[in-house]
Structure 1
Amino acid sequence: MDTIVGINTIVAVVETGSFTAAAQRMDISKALVSKYVGQVEAQLGTRLFNRTTRQVVLTPVGQDYYQQALILLQHYQKMQASATHAQHQPQGKLRVTTSVIFGDTLLAPLLPTFLAMYPEVELDILLTNKKVDLLASGIDLAIRIGHLADSSLVAQKINQLPLMLCAAPEYLAKINPPKAVADLATLDCLIDSNHSQPHRWTLTDRDGKTESVNVKGRMTINSSSSIASLAIAGASIAMLPTFLAEPAINQGRLVRVLPEYNASTYGLYAVYPHRQFLSPKVRCFIDFIRTHFGQRDIRPDH
């Protein structure tokens, strides 16, 4: 067994949490993962993992081995990159995940341009509103929107994604439209469960004063596009990303609510597992989305 293969196998088991997931990540059999782990432990004369039928847990020696292995692999990758000129033409499969609405509305129309620029790259795009474990799923890069939780992942901020309050004219004609932020608490609002605090809406006036209100609603959905469709159909008031709301506003199907206020602004981030030794395919994709979405208003025509 090659030493680097053994080290990579230990790291894969630690980061994925199981022999089965490590085998999938390395594209080898579970039996071979078990064999490699056993050989490393035999060479060291100690156990690195405590195994049960339900979980694999590092021993104290295993924890130290894992930390040292990461350092060694970084140096090894740097050595390999230096020897083979890491800045070569990006190539290979690039696995990217993002939300359904961002992928469908903004990202997908740009992908043919990216593929034309980098003919040796193959894209595998996963659109989902669920949080994906990048390491366990073998994802190279995630494009995420919102307030990111603390994690060991690396995040590069690409831009701000503004939101706005809006509703159908027909709906507003049936109610007393809100004249102040506090009035929203009395209305049945459309709730987007993808937000970090879906029932708490924050708005800022032209003087920079911020107000928050707890809202309620009979309908909660984890899809901004579905909420936009419901708002257009006259269901209620919604807080929508600008890139979804503006086309409907321009068509007269939605109008802004409390237009003197700006709603929350979420960050748009490129998220990936490791800071150092980014592969050329990942680096060029980050540069690509920064070119198209950084430092400008994010709208479908961009």
Structure 2
Amino acid sequence: MDRLDCIRSFVRVVETGSFSAVARELDTTQPVISKQIAALEEYLDAQLLTRSTRKLQLTQEGERFLEHCQVLLDAASEAIASVGKRQNLVGKLRVNCSVAFGQYQIIPYLKGFLSRYPDLQLDLSMSDRFVDFLEEGIDLAIRIGEVRDQNLIVHRIGFTRRITVGSVDYFRDREIPKIPADLVNHNCIVYSNLTTGNNWHFQLPTGGTTQVSVKGNLQVDSSNGIREAILSGLGIAVCPVWVLGELIHSKSLEVVLEDYQPISLPIYAVYRRGRFIPAKVRCFIEYFTNEFKLNPWVSD
């Protein structure tokens, strides 16, 4: 039994949580996949998975083995791609990002990337929750703002410029804030996926920064949700310019505190710490770093 095939099946069983799903994916039967995992466990003299009627779970030995398996499979794919006519990226690349960022800043620029690497299968996971890299088989994630996990490597690929904005309807019977401190008199919509929370930071026109602890009756974990809350007149928010796009110039919105710009946030490409960086990860980072340099919404 080919050991590399057994390892591939093991990795996919962990990622999908299902022997039958992997069997369908590989056009084989569930007993074949079970035999491959059993053969691995026999060869390693270690139990890799615990099985119950409801779920599969990695053992401690399985977790350690999985980490090395992913490195091995990436290295094998890169070795194959580097030889002769196969000098191209192959295999699957799993990328995670927020729904809004994927919608506005990744998908519109994918055509060039996929044309350049036609043998690569891209799996783009768009979610506004933070995902577990190992549990969900993520190769690379795009994160905005501070990344605190020391097990992750970060590469800055751009910046998110933001503005402070509310709807014309919201300001109809309210004073427009003139300085950041005025925000304490307003209902502020908080983006809950940032570590800064309700502490908003602004650049001062004279240099330096200032911080305001805002209050409001709504927090949202989605940039698209923030945009809709603004348009619905629910309050003031600090919002990425790329989320609003041409709406910034519409008659329905009022940009405020233009002399006090919210601090721009770095955009990071993030992947697991390890000794080997797969070519598919490196090429994705390089491609979007170059694309973002030409993109006024996310360039430095």
TM-score (norm 2): 0.76
User: Cα–Cα, structure 1 residues 76 and 263, in superposed 2: closer, same or farther, change >3 Å?
Assistant: closer
Counterpart code for 1:228: R
Pairwise CA distance, 1:177: 2.5
Contact 1:164/1:264, CA 8 A, preserved across alignment: no
Secondary structure class of the residue paired with 2:219: strand
* Structure 2 counterparts to residues 14-53 of structure 1, below 5 A: 32=32, 34-43=34-43, 46-49=45-48, 51=50, 53=52
Counterpart of 2:221 in structure 1 is 222
Counterpart of 2:157 in structure 1 is 158
Q: Deviations over 1:25-57 (max 9, x none)?
A: x9577655554454344445x435584747443
Contact 2:160/2:298, CA 8 A, preserved across alignment: no
CA distance in 1 between counterparts of 2:209 and 2:20 reads 46
User: Cα–Cα, structure 1 residues 36 and 114, in superposed 2: closer, same or farther, change >3 Å?
Assistant: closer
Counterpart code for 2:142: I
Stretches of structure 1 lacking an aligned partner (at least 5 in a row): none
Pairwise CA distance, 1:3: 4.0
User: Cα–Cα, structure 1 residues 288 and 174, in superposed 2: closer, same or farther, change >3 Å?
Assistant: same
Pairwise CA distance, 1:128: 1.9
Counterpart of 2:145 in structure 1 is 146
Counterpart of 1:276 in structure 2 is 276
Aligned length: 294
Stretches of structure 2 lacking an aligned partner (at least 5 in a row): none
Q: Give the share of equivalent positions with the same residue, in percent.
A: 29
Pairwise CA distance, 1:5: 4.6
Secondary structure class of the residue paired with 1:260: coil
Q: Deviations over 1:88-130 (max 9, x none)?
A: 1234554433211112222222223333444444444332212
Q: Deviations over 1:148-203 (max 9, x none)?
A: 23153433210111222112234234112223323322321112222223322122
TM-score (norm 1): 0.75
Cα RMSD (Å): 4.0
Counterpart of 1:58 in structure 2 is 60
Counterpart of 1:254 in structure 2 is 253
* Structure 2 counterparts to residues 98-177 of structure 1, below 5 A: 98-177=97-176
* Structure 2 counterparts to residues 64-83 of structure 1, below 5 A: 69=68, 73=72, 77=76, 80=79
CA distance in 2 between counterparts of 1:135 and 1:179 reads 47
Pairwise CA distance, 1:241: 0.3
